[in-house]
Amino acid sequence: MATRAQSAPRGVDRRLFRSTRSARVPLIGAVALGVATSLLVVTQAVLLGRVIAAAFPGGEELSEVSGDLWILVAVVAARALCAFGFETSGRLGARRVVGELRGGLTAHMLETRPAGLRGQRAGELVTNAVQGLSSLEAYFARYLPQLVLAVVVPVVILIYVFPRDLAAGTILLVTLPIIPLFMILIGLAARTATERRWRTLSLLSAHFLDAVKGLQTLKANDRAQRQVETLRETGEQYRKETMVTLRIAFLSSLVLELAAMMGTALVAAAVAIQLINGGLEFSTALAVLLLAPELYLPIRMVGQQFHASTDGLTAAQQCFELLDTPAAVSSPSSPLPSPNPRDGALVLENVSFAYEGRGEAVLESIDLTLTPGEQLALVGPSGQGKSTVAALILRLLDPQSGRMLCNGVDLLEVDPKDWRRQLAWVPQRPTLFSATLAENIRLGRPEADNAALLAACADAGLERLVDSMPQGLDTRLGEGQRTLSAGETQRVALARAFLRDAPLVILDEPTAHLDAESSAAIGDSIARLSQNRSVLLIVHRPALAAAADRIITLREGIVVDGQAER
């Protein structure tokens, strides 16, 4: 991981331009503007040299140079337009690229990793997608233009200088390669430094977030003040470490700055000698001197913008890394039509599963059969893989080995989306989306009418909650709005399942957060829900498991009590 991280942004820019269509427009724009700017820079220097030389030692009046001065104003206006173009087209272009990457990222998450990001930090993902990718703006609006100018401007300037002053041209030509050399050094050093800074920053961010989210727990344990110290110490330690890296990283830009400045100083001296020897026109000498700093400027700016640009590239890199992770659930290229759990049994044969990067299997060769209309209870202590069985049947995860069949059709041969249409699911910790209560319940059947919605609410025991809400079913949930308790959230998820009206229902601890009385009430609704349907009930409450047709016990990933008929 460490070696990969170090070289992270390398090649990312290439991939960015190759795979992100919207990235090409700002690139082409930058090249066109770069060429125009270079020509304007030289024109401006030549005109200014002529004006000054005309007055001294030429001794001309203002009126005699006014023509050149007006052309200069026009050149200035054209340069201003180019600057406007670089910034605006860069920023707008960057925004389209960011949009494309964000869209790709969410689509990828939903399509291939619906079970979530195990081991990946969800907070980091979101920070990266929102804050991190925004830094690409600096790459397109600041870094890319300078990069183009750094290539075009020196060429145009050297073409002008060489025929006019060989000595100055040679100085420029000799000092110029020193700069790319140091650019590479800077690139390497700054890359390491930026990488490090970025990773540590997001680590510190995560640490800060951890502390903020856990503050209540810290406070209850009288540890909040201690955490303040920890935050201070971590920040201080990070500062010291990073400064050591930066001291070296900045050293190479010191050399670069020195080369550019000394280059200008040497050109001034060389031009002065040429003038004394009478080998150069004064106006040309002025133009050459004016162009010397212009030659180095874009290269120096590239160095300055490098940090800002790598922030964006590193974010893009993390984005690509995520896009490259293999799908947690595969879709067949030529899918079979989905079987209906009403028509035939759902059979798991020898199914094993282990999470990526974790050696021990969560499930080991389990067998399980769910016949149409059957209520099967899956019981066992927590942490034994019960929810993983649900995720496999829901096709949120692919098993490592074994087969999953429904009515004799291998589910891996079926498009997961088609198969999921047959299912309803009440997860252990349901998510409430910021939308109205009705929209939340309609999640699985957006087209359901109000009567069906109310019936689902009644079945899930939600009526009292709905009545207590200011706008009833149209009450918005989420920020600044009413928040629901764990039990109420569970009921909303149950209502979703009722409304879904699917042939197979998976209930994962539907009553874990409910009190005994409500659980009993929910038990009745579950019994109602179970009519004419197959149900996989994951529970630890015997009162609920007792209502099932059959109970299977799962312990340490193995079915220990498979055939215990009730």
Partner 1 sequence: MSATPASGEVDRWRALMRAARLVSPRRGQLIFSIVLGAGAILAAVGLLAVAGVLISKAALQPEILTLTIFTVGVRALAFARALLRYGERLVSHDLAFRVLADLRVRFFERLIPLVPEGLRGVRSGDVLSRFVGDVDTLQDLYLRAIGPPLIGILTIAVLAVAVAIVLPAGAVVLIAGMLIAGLLVPALAARAGRRSGLREAPARAQLSAELVELVSGAGELAVYGREQQWAQRIEMADAKLAATERPGAWISGVTSGMGVAIGGVAMVAVAAIGVQATADGRLDGVLLAGIVFLTIGAFEAVVGLPDAAQRLTACAQAAARLESITEAPVPVSDPAAPIPVTIGGSLNFENVTVRFEGRAQAALSDVSAAMAPGSRIALVGASGAGKTTLASCAVRFLDPSSGRVTLGGTDIRELSQDALRSAVRLVSQEAYLFTTTIAQNVRLAAPEASEEQIIAALTRAGLGPWIASLPRGIETLVGEEGAEVSGGQRGRIALARGFIAPSQVVILDEPTANLDAAGARDLLSAIGSERSDRRAMLVITHTVEGLEEFDEIIVLEAGAVVERGTWGELIAAEGALARLSAAA
- Residue 407: which residues within 8 A CB-CB, separation 6 or more? 339, 340, 341, 343, 344, 345
How do 550-555 and 375-379 pair as beta strands?
parallel
Q: How far is the CB of 139 from partner 1 (least distance, A)?
A: 14
Query: Over 365-400, what HEC string results?
Result: EEEEEECCCCEEEEECCCCCCHHHHHHHHCCCCCCC
Of the residues 85, 180, 344, 402, which one makes contact with partner 1 according to CB under 8 A: 85
Using CA atoms, how far residue 262 sits from 129, 171, 258, 461, 524, in Å, is 43, 10, 6, 81, 87
- b or e along 173-195 (b: 16 or more beta carbons within 10 Å of the residue's beta carbon)? eebbebbeebbebbbebbbbbbb
Residue list 277-336, contact with partner 1 (CB under 8 A): 278, 282, 285-286, 289-290, 293
Residue list 10-49, contact with partner 1 (CB under 8 A): 44, 48
Of the residues 341, 399, 430, 461, which one makes contact with partner 1 according to CB under 8 A: 430
457 near partner 1, judged by CB under 8 A: no
Identify which of residues 233 and 350 has a Cβ nearer to partner 1 in the complex. Answer: 233
Residue 394 sits at φ, ψ, to 5 deg, of -75, -5
Distance of CA 536 to the CA centre of its chain: 36
Q: For residue 368, give the nearest of 358, 379, 360 by alpha carbon.
A: 379
99 near partner 1, judged by CB under 8 A: yes
542 near partner 1, judged by CB under 8 A: yes
564 near partner 1, judged by CB under 8 A: no
Q: How far apart are CA 184 and CA 205, in angstroms?
A: 30
527 near partner 1, judged by CB under 8 A: no
Residue 285 sits at φ, ψ, to 5 deg, of -60, -45
Identify which of residues 376 and 443 has a Cβ nearer to partner 1 in the complex. Answer: 443
- Label residue 423 left, alpha or beta by phi (over 0 means left) and psi (-120 to 50 means alpha): beta
Q: How far apart are CA 533 and CA 503, in angstroms?
A: 5
Of the residues 8, 141, 348, 559, which one makes contact with partner 1 according to CB under 8 A: 141
Of the residues 520, 527, 546, 564, which one makes contact with partner 1 according to CB under 8 A: 520
Q: How far is the CB of 132 from partner 1 (least distance, A)?
A: 11
257 near partner 1, judged by CB under 8 A: yes
Q: How far is the CB of 69 from partner 1 (least distance, A)?
A: 6
- Residue 201: which residues within 8 A CB-CB, separation 6 or more? none
Q: How far is the CB of 11 from partner 1 (least distance, A)?
A: 26
Identify which of residues 362 and 405 has a Cβ nearer to partner 1 in the complex. Answer: 362
Kindly determine how many residues on this chain lie close enough to bind partner 1 according to the rule CB under 8 A.
168
Q: How far is the CB of 308 from partner 1 (least distance, A)?
A: 11
- Residue 473: which residues within 8 A CB-CB, separation 6 or more? 436, 437, 438, 441, 453, 457, 466
Of the residues 330, 431, 471, 532, which one makes contact with partner 1 according to CB under 8 A: 431
529 C-beta neighbours (distance < 10 Å), count: 25
87 near partner 1, judged by CB under 8 A: yes
Q: How far apart are CA 3 and CA 25, in angstroms?
A: 33
The single-letter DSSP state of residue 501 is -
Q: How far is the CB of 25 from partner 1 (least distance, A)?
A: 14
- DSSP letters along 306-360, please? HHHHHHHHHHHHHHHHHHHSPPSS---SSPBPPP-TTTS-EEEEEEEE--TT--S
Residue list 54-73, contact with partner 1 (CB under 8 A): 54-57, 59-62, 65-66, 69, 72-73
Q: How far apart are CA 349 and CA 366, in angstroms?
A: 7
227 near partner 1, judged by CB under 8 A: yes
Of the residues 246, 323, 448, 454, which one makes contact with partner 1 according to CB under 8 A: 246
84 near partner 1, judged by CB under 8 A: yes
The single-letter DSSP state of residue 477 is B
163 near partner 1, judged by CB under 8 A: no
Residue list 359-398, contact with partner 1 (CB under 8 A): 379-383, 391, 394, 396
Distance of CA 333 to the CA centre of its chain: 28
Q: How far is the CB of 289 from partner 1 (least distance, A)?
A: 6
Q: How far apart are CA 414 and CA 346, in angstroms?
A: 14
Q: Which residue has the tokens 């896009």?
A: 323
Is the separation of the CB atoms in 474 and 468 below 8 Å? no
Of the residues 333, 334, 480, 531, which one makes contact with partner 1 according to CB under 8 A: 480
Identify which of residues 86 and 320 has a Cβ nearer to partner 1 in the complex. Answer: 86
User: Cβ-count burial of 96 within 10 angstroms (0-12 exposed, 13-18 middle, 19+ buried)?
Assistant: middle
Of the residues 6, 518, 558, 562, which one makes contact with partner 1 according to CB under 8 A: 518
Q: Two tokens at 202?
A: 């997001």
Identify which of residues 5 and 52 has a Cβ nearer to partner 1 in the complex. Answer: 52
The single-letter DSSP state of residue 363 is E
Residue list 400-419, contact with partner 1 (CB under 8 A): 416-417
Of the residues 513, 526, 552, 557, which one makes contact with partner 1 according to CB under 8 A: 513
Q: How far is the CB of 210 from partner 1 (least distance, A)?
A: 5
Pick the piece of the chain touching partner 1 (CB under 8 A) from 111-119, 171-179, 454-462, 525-533. Answer: 111-119
Residue list 166-205, contact with partner 1 (CB under 8 A): 204-205
127 near partner 1, judged by CB under 8 A: yes
Of the residues 10, 18, 21, 226, which one makes contact with partner 1 according to CB under 8 A: 226
491 near partner 1, judged by CB under 8 A: no
Pick the piece of the chain touching partner 1 (CB under 8 A) from 2-10, 158-166, 309-317, 536-544. Answer: 536-544
243 near partner 1, judged by CB under 8 A: yes
115 near partner 1, judged by CB under 8 A: yes
